[in-house]
Structure 1
Amino acid sequence: MLTLLLVFGLSAASKADVITLVVKEDLASCTGVAPMNCMQVKYKNSKNWELFYSQIAGFTYKPGYRYVLLVNRTKRKNVPADASAYEYKLKKVLKKIKMKIPASANTAWDFVLKHKWKLIQMNGVTQKDSPVYMTFDGVQKRVSGKSGCNTFFGAYEKSDGTLSFHQMAGTMMACSEELNKLEHQFLTLIGDQTFKYDVAEQTLNLYQNNKLVLMFGMAPL
């Protein structure tokens, strides 16, 4: 009987609440551990949009769409001071509605422009402590960064959900065999190529033929 009571108690404590969240079509500037962009949400009784500092497991946010989500919300134990009191997991997307975003609104691309993006995965292979990174100049429409031991630079074009690289060039310093291999593979992948992209959980992801080709993690400038 005691065992049954303990099991029941643990199950009750870990049971998730099912809630409905409305997610706004644009991100907003917020400050967590560092300045970042957050989703804006409304709960059942919300009158105004609220900043959402957590992640929703299983949900990929795309700017320009308003979502109505059914979400499992679980109370966390021993919560760190800078963390959310809850964990969220997507149960179902109830609605996904295309919205018109005002020109003045912050977008996922505004978030990309504010940060340096370090390579963390290439063709499915994790890049541990990779020296490769890139940054974007939104005014000049230029991209630059490090491809290994050399620097690279070029032009980019961005449209709705796609990112293209053009006129790529770089310095020609001598590198180790390992860096030469990394550099060649990276520059071949992005040279005069067009990708679909998204920004999810502070990663910049580039896709071709529905396959994740390059993943970059946010890094300090």
Structure 2
Amino acid sequence: MKRILIILMLFGISAYANAADVIRLVVKEDRASCTGVAPQTCFQVKYKNSKSWELFYSNISGFNYKPGYRYVLLVTRTKRANVPADASIYTYKLKRVLKKQKMPVVTSDWGFVVKHKWKLIQMNGVTQEQSPAFIIFDKEKGRVNGSAGCNSFFGSYEKGDGKLTFKQMGSTLMACADEERTKLENDFLKLISDKTFKYDVAEQTLNFYENNRLVLMFGMAPLDTP
């Protein structure tokens, strides 16, 4: 009797470990750079309660993804019994495509860009939650300014053929007590100083690319927002 009970308990644990549920996923029309075991590109997804796009480090078995299309999927999510190192605790399998929508081609309309403040929302594939960093462009003077986290930065820019070059960048030198803000600021300023990026505007985001890899994403905000 005791042996039967142990077997039933082990069966129950195994069944729990492999329990599956069906979830709804929205998959964005372009991938973003991310770092798992090595640098790679990831889907950008929204779950039921997502407020913004999240990086998706796994694969979806049976899903034939095409860039430029936004998908709404029903996906079977199964918890792994034994999780390999640096792997997701879940596996995902496509159950049904609920919607597939061709998204508008992105634009490089600079007149639109200079009318707004752009707040940093992603850097090198990492989502920046409530980041204090932002950037503003002065079309008439060819100047750029903003906040890198603690300090203000400034410089000039040149634009042409869908590319943007930052020049003569500088910043104030106020000490920052917050270590996370200090790291954010150092990484951000290093990334944009004397660099040339391809850029586009899509879905109210300003995106910078280096070697065809998305490295910076900014969200649109009114110029007069703090």
1:204 to 203, 206, 209: 206
In the alignment, is residue 89 of structure 1 matched against residue 90 of structure 2? no
Deviations 1:158-197 (A, max 9, x none): 0011000000001011102211110000000000000000
Name 1:177's counterpart in structure 2.
179
Which amino acid counterpart does residue 210 of structure 1 have in structure 2?
N
| TM-score with structure 2 setting the length | 0.53
Name 1:161's counterpart in structure 2.
162
Deviations 1:38-75 (A, max 9, x none): xxxxxxxxxxxxxxxxxxx9649xxxxxxxxxxxxxxx
* Partner Cα distance (2:110, 2:140) in 1: 13
Name 1:36's counterpart in structure 2.
none
**How does 1:33-48 map onto structure 2 within 5 Å?**
none
**How does 1:1-221 map onto structure 2 within 5 Å?**
59=68, 89-90=101-102, 108-175=109-176, 176-221=178-223
* Partner Cα distance (2:222, 2:100) in 1: 27
Question: Alpha-carbon deviation of 1:205?
Answer: 0.2
Describe the SS at the equivalent of 2:189: helix
Q: Which runs of 4+ in 1 moved over 2 A?
A: 57-60
**What RMSD, in angstroms, separates the aligned Cα atoms of the two structures?**
2.8
Which amino acid counterpart does residue 209 of structure 1 have in structure 2?
N
Give unpaired runs (5+ residues) of structure 1: 1-56, 61-86, 97-105
Which amino acid counterpart does residue 113 of structure 1 have in structure 2?
V
Describe the SS at the equivalent of 1:174: coil
Describe the SS at the equivalent of 2:173: coil
* Partner Cα distance (1:180, 1:130) in 2: 12
* Partner Cα distance (2:151, 2:144) in 1: 14
Which amino acid counterpart does residue 101 of structure 2 have in structure 1?
K
* Partner Cα distance (2:147, 2:174) in 1: 12
Q: What number of residue pairs does the alignment pair up?
A: 129
Bigger-Rg structure (1/2): 2
Which amino acid counterpart does residue 187 of structure 1 have in structure 2?
L
* Structure 2 contact 137–144 (Cα < 8 Å) conserved: yes
Task: Specify whether residues 107 and 195 from structure 1 end up closer, same or farther in structure 2 by C-alpha distance, changes over 3 A only.
Answer: closer
Question: Alpha-carbon deviation of 1:204?
Answer: 0.3
Which amino acid counterpart does residue 212 of structure 1 have in structure 2?
L
Describe the SS at the equivalent of 1:139: coil
Describe the SS at the equivalent of 2:110: helix
Give unpaired runs (5+ residues) of structure 2: 1-65, 70-98
Which amino acid counterpart does residue 196 of structure 1 have in structure 2?
K
| TM-score with structure 1 setting the length | 0.54
